[in-house]
Structure formats: structure tokens, C-alpha cells
Amino acid sequence: MKKVAIVGGTGYTGVELLRLLARHPEVEVCAITSRSEAGRQVSDIYPSLRGEFDLAFTEPTNEILGQADLVFFATPNGVAMKQTRELVDAGVKVIDLAADFRFDDVDEWSKWYGMDHACADLMVEAVYGLPEVNKQAVQAARLVANPGCYPTAVQIGLLPLIEQNLIDTQNIIADCKSGVSGAGRGAAVGSLMCEAADSFKAYAVAGHRHLPEIKERLSVCAGESVGLTFVPHLTPMIRGIHATMYAKLQGPIDMNELQAAYEARYADHPFVDVMPLGSHPETRSVRGSNICRVALHQPQGGDTLVILSAIDNLVKGAAGQAVHNMNLMLGLEEKAGLEIMPLSP
């Protein structure tokens, strides 16, 4: 059995990691940390895990974390970078679910996250953990940057088009909607259900932190800088992300051929479901699962392609993708712990 530890276990991604790892056949959670809840039993905070883990929260010391084969950081931005060097130098593999290692450009990261980076050289080494792009690199990595939730949905929807130079990469639009759990477990008026229910709004239109991440990764794929308009929206639901992308085709294309190209691109990636042409993936169809469902549309036969992408932001957009990366890094079966059907209703 491989031993893993979770830093920051009281947030939504932390408990989602525990839910997935509880049934993992080859992994044991040896430690889960929280400075604010140290000493309390996991089931006291999350009754849903009663009987699954006989663990109490501990302080996140490297002495404790060093006993694991791999450590997940389910912490706010700026936390993982302060402990990662000592861990990886001691032979412990690390997956950061925050943004500390997602960028190649440290100056761009500092601009968007408002702090200096504690180990900029490790940003260069870190592998961007989107398995649909970097599976082999993840397998060999000691440090993986788990992608953001919006970037996951958007990239999976657009990658085949950019890789085959089928669209104008200077005028891409990503219109995305997220449930309130994307804001985290911390109390904030805007994400209270009484505030979010019966309402719908855009936010961070001038610039969301996931914008530079998406642009950087799509630019790497394109081999040149891409032009992207990204607008996130808050919806009155708990889980889910629905991304609608608009892209201008480079020329006439047979939609059946395009569908076949998507199916071929993701044939070896078990957590991407390319739905039949004209389908409408729903967030409820992926709720609780590690699946991304994608569908293609060409409205009125014009030159604009519409790509729909739906994920659970807490699973494929966070904890599930992290477990997928863990499986690859530790040489485990790729789908272990993740063969879970979506919840319905």
C-alpha cells in the first residue's frame, strides 16, 4: 500500500480527496492536517466519513508529511510553495491543488497572485497535471501542479482544435459557469446560498486568475500566443462547471470528420466522454464523477464552432484529477479509485 498525506483537509477539495481515497484499493491515508482543527477527528468535521477514517487532524509538519510517499496540498495559494522543497528533496512526491506551480512564468504568477514565489526554480520543474496532455510527464514527475477547474473544462474542450490548427486562435471565447462550491468552504457573503439562489451573475470580467493559466496552456499547445476572452459566472448550484466555447473555423469542415477527430484524440483518455454531435452535456450528468463530457455544435452551419464541456468542479476540476495524477505518479492503475458513476438525481 502506498501512503499519502493531505495538507488542508478541512476544505471541500480536502474532503473530496478523502471520499475518493476511502475506496482506493492501493492507497492508505496516513495523515491529514489542519492547523485550526488539530486534534479533532475527521468524522467530527465531516460526518459523511464516519467509519471510513480513524484519523485526527494534525499540524502540517514536514516530519509527519515525510512519512508519506506522496503529499496532496489542498490549501490556499501560497502555502504549498513554502514546504514543497524540503519534501521533494526528501523523496516525497507532491501534488499541489492550488496555483503555486501552475505557471511557467514566475513574474506572471506574482502579478496575478500578489506575492513573491518561495521556490521559483521548482516552478520550472513542476509538471502541469492535465493527464489528457501530459500523462507521460506526470508519470515521471516528483512535483505536479493540479490544473484549475475552469482551465480543465476549457482546455479539454479546445485542445483537438488547436492541435490540428482548425480554428482562429486569436479570437476564442470561453463563457463559463460554476457552482458556489468553487469559492471554497470559507464563509463569504457572495457565496452564501441565500445570496446566490435565484440569481445568476458574471464576475471577474476584467480578469480572473484562471485567465492567464488558460492562455498560457493553450499558447503552449498552439506554439504561439492565443487570444482569449474568458468570462466566469456564478450559478445557484453547489457543484459543476459548464463551459461554452466559441471559435471561428479556419475553413469549411465536415462535422462528422471533426467528431471523429475528437473521438480519436480522447480514445486513450478514460475520463473524457465525447458525446454524439448535437448533444447537450449537463452538469448533473457528471456530478460526483471524474468525467468531462464534451459535445460539438455548428449553429446554422456557419463558421463558428460551439464546444460544450461539463465537469464536476470538485472532482475532475480538483480532487479527482489529483487522484488521477497520483495514480500515474505512483505507478498505480490509472482509473483506481475513480471508477465512480455520477450521482442522479
**Which residues are known to be catalytic?**
149
Letter for the amino acid at 103? F
Contact 100, 81 (CB under 8 A): yes
Contact 216, 104 (CB under 8 A): yes
CB hemisphere CA count around 31 (13 angstroms):
22
- List the 201-202 sheet strands across, edge first: 201-202, 228-234, 172-178, 241-248, 304-311, 292-297, 272-274
Dist. CA 135–CA 42, nearest whole Å:
32
Q: How would you class 25 by CB atoms within 10 Å of its CB: exposed for 0-12, middle for 13-18, buried for 19 or more?
A: exposed
Per the listing, cell 477539495 goes with 13
Backbone angles phi, psi at 243, to 5 degrees: -115, 125
Triad 121, 144, 118: Cα angle to 5°: 35
Closest C-alpha to 80, from 175, 92, 244, 311:
92
Q: Enumerate the H helices of the chain as residue ranges.
A: 12-21, 42-45, 62-65, 84-89, 106-113, 120-125, 131-139, 149-163, 193-196, 210-222, 255-265, 320-329
Closest C-alpha to 20, from 313, 283, 321, 320:
320
Dist. CA 196–CA 181, nearest whole Å:
11
Per the listing, cell 445568476 goes with 200
